[in-house]
Amino acid sequence: MSLRLRIVLTVTCLTALLVVIAGLGFDAYVGSATRATLQRSLLRRSDRVQGALAGHVIASTGSGVHLRAAPDQSAIQVLNASGRLIYTTAAAGMTPMVSLGRLRVAHGVTTWYLAMLPRHRNPTMVVAEPVRAHHGDLLLVGGSTDQVRDSLALVERLLLAGGVLAVLCAGLGAGLLAKVVLLPVDAMRRQAMDLVTSPPELRLTDPGTGDELALLAETLNGFLDRLQESAELQRRFISAASHELRTPLAGLRVELENRWIVSDPQAQQALFRRLDERVEHLVHLTEGLLQVAQGQRDQIPLHVVVQPLEPIVTSALVNFVPRAEEAEVLFVVAADPTIWAPVDAVRFREIVDNLVTNALRYSDAGMVIEISLTGSGGWVFFEVRDHGPGFPAEFLPNAFEPFTRAKRTPARVGEGFGLGLSLVKLLTLAHGGEATVANHPDGGAVARVSLPLVAEGDVGNRSTQRARGCPEQGSIECELAYLGDAGKR
């Protein structure tokens, strides 16, 4: 059932209900008013008859013998105490309008009755009251209710005809009104159908009504914006994933091409180790991309081991030396070799790789990249600072959002895809740490990763813990158990 038909049916039914209720109320009011008018008329007639009896204008027979009906069109009767007629009119007839058994009239009390009289199709309303001039006698004055019934019948016919006309007019008006009101909705529906084959940036036109329909158009446009953003995010993610996977895959391909020219057994073993490292790095990178895609920030799988961080940083920087020499950029490294922390070595290396890659991307020839690894207050601080243009102020609040990138890329390095800092943030949070970026007061950008620190004394305790059963490459349960014991000590 269409919305227009539902509106018409609803308005028609409501109108019919209102007409019925109003008709019943009006019919009751007309009937009550007509009966009240008849009662007032009978009371006035009764007063005139009372005056005529007091002035002996109307003569009654005391015994009722040889009673003759007075030629009067009004229904008037006088009864004595025994219920015998002592006066009657032709309209009232020779039989009491109300039998003695029904009469319940005390002194000075007026009572109303309904009685059926000959030649009347409707009941007659009768007022009964004591005769003031003759103690013990009773005066009955009647009036036909034909007028009341005729008035009610006329009102009912008028209400029926008017009600049907009102219902029809209401239904017709509701149909026209629904058509006018739904015109913008229909236009919006047609426009929405056209959007299926239209460019994705097109939106619904505001109907300009300023009501709920305009709010609906605004809501739908917001929904379309979200859909377009989602589609754009998927497209950018595919591009970013391709970009992030390209480098390790290219390195893996180079290593595989070199396998034919390596004949020395030790060199072959070194080649296989590098291949194994690259494959493992590629697997973890793929998992990281999946975590970014799914937004599961607290479900990144880690193999946490308490270990020194300086070798991980040094190993990562060795791979960047050829790129740094090509870009004529100098690394200045200050790494404390005594710093140990519970980290996943592969994941932590991803953090180092992404931060150093960003620093290289925004460093010109002759610039210096400062890399430091320090510990203080129970935390490890790994910091990478470049001397490039720094971050734009509007970029800093959203620096770690996926696919967000600063508009400062030099032409020689191409434009990034904004996934590196997002991965850094996710991996740092998974380690229970914190990642921040800022602009250095003396110029350039600074990225800092803070991780929980293991004190030097706890390193020896950890070795004892391994001797009691933890394997050299301990499981995360073993390492966490150790850390809990170390915290208690």
Question: Does residue 451 sit in helix, strand or coil?
Answer: strand
Strand segments, DSSP code E, in 377-426 are 379-385
Q: What is the full DSSP assignment across 166-207?
A: HHHHHHHHHHHHHHHHHHHHHHHHHHHHHHTTS-TT--PPP-
> Domain 3-150 maps to which CATH number in 3.40.640, 1.10.12, 3.40.50, 3.30.450?
3.30.450
Query: How far apart, in whole angstroms, are the C-alpha atoms of residue 224 and residue 406?
Result: 27
Instruction: Please provide residue 139's backbone torsions phi and psi, each rounded to the nearest 5 degrees.
Output: -105, 130
How far apart CA 159 and CA 155 sit, in angstroms, is 6
d(CA 414, CA 133): 126
- The neighbour count for residue 287, using CB atoms within 10 Å, is 13
What pLDDT, on the 0 to 100 scale, is given for residue 278? 74
Cross-strand pairs, 423 = none
Rounded Cα distance, 203 and 224, in Å: 7
DSSP H helical segments within 295-344, as ranges?
A: 310-327
The pLDDT assigned to 464 comes to 30
- What pLDDT does 288 receive? 60
Q: pLDDT tens digits for the chain (489 residues)?
A: 676 778 778 888 888 888 888 888 887 888 888 888 888 888 898 888 888 888 888 777 766 666 777 777 788 888 887 778 888 888 888 888 887 777 765 455 778 888 877 777 788 888 888 888 777 788 889 888 877 788 778 888 888 888 888 888 888 888 888 777 777 777 777 777 777 777 777 777 777 767 777 787 778 878 877 887 777 767 766 776 676 677 677 777 776 776 666 667 777 777 777 777 778 777 766 766 666 665 544 566 788 999 999 999 999 999 888 888 988 999 999 999 999 999 999 989 989 999 998 899 888 899 999 999 999 989 999 999 999 888 888 888 888 877 666 665 443 444 445 678 888 888 898 899 999 999 999 989 999 999 998 755 454 444 333 323 334 433 333 333 333 333 333
Bridge partners (DSSP) of residue 438 are: 446
pLDDT at 227: 80
| 99 C-beta neighbours (distance < 10 Å), count | 11
Query: Token pair of 457, please?
Result: 């004394």
What pLDDT is stored for residue 436 in this prediction? 94
CA distance 189 to 485: 66
Residue bearing tokens 């019943």: 24
Q: Provide the token pair at 485.
A: 């014991």
Closest CA to 218 of 229, 230, 202, 207: 207
For 204-294, CATH number?
Answer: 1.10.287.130
* pLDDT tens digits, one per residue of 177-228: 877 777 777 777 777 777 777 777 777 777 776 777 778 777 887 887 788 7
Q: Going by CATH, does the domain composed of 297-454 fall within 3.30.360.10?
A: no
- Tell me how far apart the alpha carbons of residues 484 and 274 are, in angstroms, rounded to a whole number: 35
- The pLDDT, as a whole number, for residue 31 is 80
Q: Which residues, in sequence order, are CB contacts of 440 under 8 Å at separation 6+?
A: 385, 390, 446
* Length, in residues, of the chain: 489
Q: Which part of the chain has CATH 3.30.450?
A: 3-150
Where does the chain hold its CATH 3.30.565.10 domain(s)? 297-454
**CB contact at 8 A, 144 and 15:** no
Token pair for residue 269?
Answer: 């073993």
For strands 379-385 and 368-376, give the pairing: antiparallel
Whole-angstrom distance, CA of residue 433 vs CA of residue 255: 35
Residue ranges, CATH 1.10.287.130, the chain: 204-294
Cα angle: 469, vertex 471, 474; to 5 degrees: 115
What would the DSSP string read from start to end of 11-23? HHHHHHHHHHHHH
Rg of the Cα atoms in the chain:
53
Residues pairing with 343 in the sheet: 305
- What pLDDT score does 480 carry? 34
What's the pLDDT tens digit per position in 17-43? 888 888 888 878 888 888 888 888 888
Sheet architecture: strand order including 85-88:
85-88, 75-79, 138-144, 124-130, 111-115
